[in-house]
Amino acid sequence: MAECNDDKCPVHGTISTRGHRTIGNVVSVRAKRTAIVEREAVMRVKKYARYARTKSRIAAHHPDCMDARVGDVVEIQECRKISKTKAWAITKIVSRGEGYLKEGQAKARDEKQVKRKEELAAKEGKAGAST
Ligand SMILES: [Zn+2]
């Protein structure tokens, strides 16, 4: 975590952040150095005198030193255009969500999955032998 060779990191790189700052949920970290952050808002619809929920998705730069996972709440800040769709950068992880597993937890989960696979394989082997 201490190492950060990311030139576009708002903390260690040359990108400076300015403009709006907001908080949202991480919904995807599939792309390299990019996270999709979703914001929810409640808006009043005047015509029907009711409220409607709206969502917006923002592509934010996810620097090497930041270990954001799906489900985390992060603070993002506007910066210069980094790519066609990216003009925000993650500046802080506000809280860890369900997607975050500590090292031990991740290991336990993997072991569980391996066990389940073995069980399934054994079952299938049995089924195949009986027929
Ligand atoms: Zn950094």
- 87 Cβ neighbours under 8 A, 6+ residues apart: 78, 79, 80, 81
Is 10 in contact with 63 (CB distance < 8 Å)? yes
Mind listing the pLDDT tens digit for each residue in 22-74? 999 999 999 999 999 999 999 999 999 999 999 999 999 999 998 898 889 99
Instruction: Say which residue the tokens 């569980």 belong to.
Output: 112
What distance in angstroms lies between residue 4's CA and the mean position of ligand 1's atoms? 5
- Domain boundaries of the chain, sorted by first residue: 1-98, 101-131
Mind listing the pLDDT tens digit for each residue in 35-44? 999 999 999 9
Per-residue CA distances from 29 to 25, 26, 46 (Å): 11, 7, 36
What distance in angstroms lies between residue 1's CA and the mean position of ligand 1's atoms? 8
What distance in angstroms lies between residue 12's CA and the mean position of ligand 1's atoms? 4
What pLDDT, on a 0 to 100 scale, did the predictor assign at position 23?
A: 93
What distance in angstroms lies between residue 16's CA and the mean position of ligand 1's atoms? 12
pTM for this predicted structure: 0.70
Instruction: Say which residue the tokens 């990216």 belong to.
Output: 86
The 3-state DSSP class for residue 97 equals coil
What distance in angstroms lies between residue 64's CA and the mean position of ligand 1's atoms? 6
Which CATH number, 1.10.260.40, 3.90.420.10, 3.40.50.720, 2.40.50.1000, labels domain 1-98?
2.40.50.1000
